Structures are given as C-alpha cells and as structure tokens.
Amino acid sequence: MVRTGLVATILGLLGGFLGVWLGLTFLGGGVAGEENFHDLVHEELVLTPGQENAISMLEREFALQRDNDEVRMSDARHALAIALLRDQALSADVTRAAAELHQAMGDLQLETLSHILAMRAELDPDQRAAFDRHLAQAFDVAD
C-alpha cells in the first residue's frame, strides 16, 4: 500500500513538472502572452528605427537568458528523475532537485517580466498605453 502511494506521488510530481515544462515551452516562455507582446510590438505598434534596434537588442539578450534557463530546467528535471527513480522517496536529493527546478522556472518567469518591462520602456506614451491594455488583458486584469 505504501509503495502504491509512493508511485502515485512520484507520477504526480513528474506529471506536474511536465505540465509546467510544456506550458513554458509552448505557451509563451512562462508568462501568459509573452509571445503576443512581441506580435503587438512588431505588428500593431509603429516603431521608429531606433525603437526597432533597441527592442531587437533586448530580444537577442532575452533569448540567451531564456536558453540558459531552459538548460537549467532540463538539467534539474533530469536530476529530479534520477533522484526519484533511485530513492523512491521524498529524499533530500529529490527535494533539492525539485527546488532547483522551481528556481530555474522562477528565474525564467522573472527574466520574462523584466524583458517585457524593458520593451515597454522603449515605447512612447501612446504605444505604452496600447501595450498596457494588452498586458492587462494577458493577466486578466480589468481596465
């Protein structure tokens, strides 16, 4: 009976981490609508050449940060799986690997928010107003 509970717990943890990973990978890098902000900035706002250059630089820098965090998440998921399969208990190694995965996911989320705000800082007041409306919608905040 204990073994069944342990297996269910391990599968639940792995399923949860898989769900978070899939969400981060396929739904915008960890922040709701992050990809849509790029669409908004590049397709709906009329940017000056200076704004285009500045935002392009921000996007290149963010892509590097995101790639690093994705490697960290992959490594942490791997370490978590190894520890779970080896220990078959909520051991110190399992707890440590889970914490490392959460830290990498949290870092990516904060870096994504920072990136969104850095893009916003490059906009003029009218562009910011449109951006902010889109941001409010992405986070389900009523205007």
Q: Which two tokens stand for residue 94?
A: 């399992």
- 17 exposure class (CB count in 10 Å sphere: 0-12, 13-18, 19+): buried
22-40 as b/e, with b when 16 or more CB fall inside 10 Å? eebeeebbbbbbbeebbeb
Torsion 60-64-69-74 (CA) sign? positive
Per-residue model confidence as pLDDT tens digits over 92-140: 999 999 999 999 999 999 999 999 999 999 999 999 998 888 888 877 8
Cβ atoms within 10 A of the Cβ of 71, count?
11
Per-residue model confidence as pLDDT tens digits over 26-60: 334 444 455 666 777 878 888 999 999 999 999 99
